[in-house]
Amino acid sequence: METSTTCFAWVLIPNHFHLLVRAKTVSDFNELDHFPYCGHSRLMGRIDDGWRDSEALLVLFAENKSSAKTRYRDFVRSGLSMGKRPE
């Protein structure tokens, strides 16, 4: 069934992305940019699945798409530097 509903299939919680790096699922942030099993690669413009509205989220970081991607990536990267937190 097709609808005109905008789908936001991610949550901006940078500590989730850092788990992929820490678990060595991806080796670094460059590989994360291309990793097909999370929304990060869609926001970075590496994969287009045709149904996520990446631009609606990126505009929250900046109006210019290139600047928005840079700021978003910096936001995600900052999660890695937060270190491990006790559960």
pLDDT tens for 1-16 read 566 766 655 455 555 6
Q: Is residue 5 part of a domain?
A: no
In a domain, 18, yes or no: yes
Give the domain extent around 36: 14-80
Q: Bigger pLDDT: 35 or 13?
A: 35
Q: Give how many domains the chain has, as a whole number.
A: 1
Write the burial class of residue 72 (CB in 10 Å: 0-12 exposed, 13-18 middle, 19+ buried): buried
Is the residue at 8 inside a domain?
no
Query: Which residue, chain included where needed, has tokens 């210019």?
Result: 64
What are the φ/ψ torsions at residue 18 (nearest 5 degrees)? -65, -25
- Is this prediction's pTM over 0.75? no
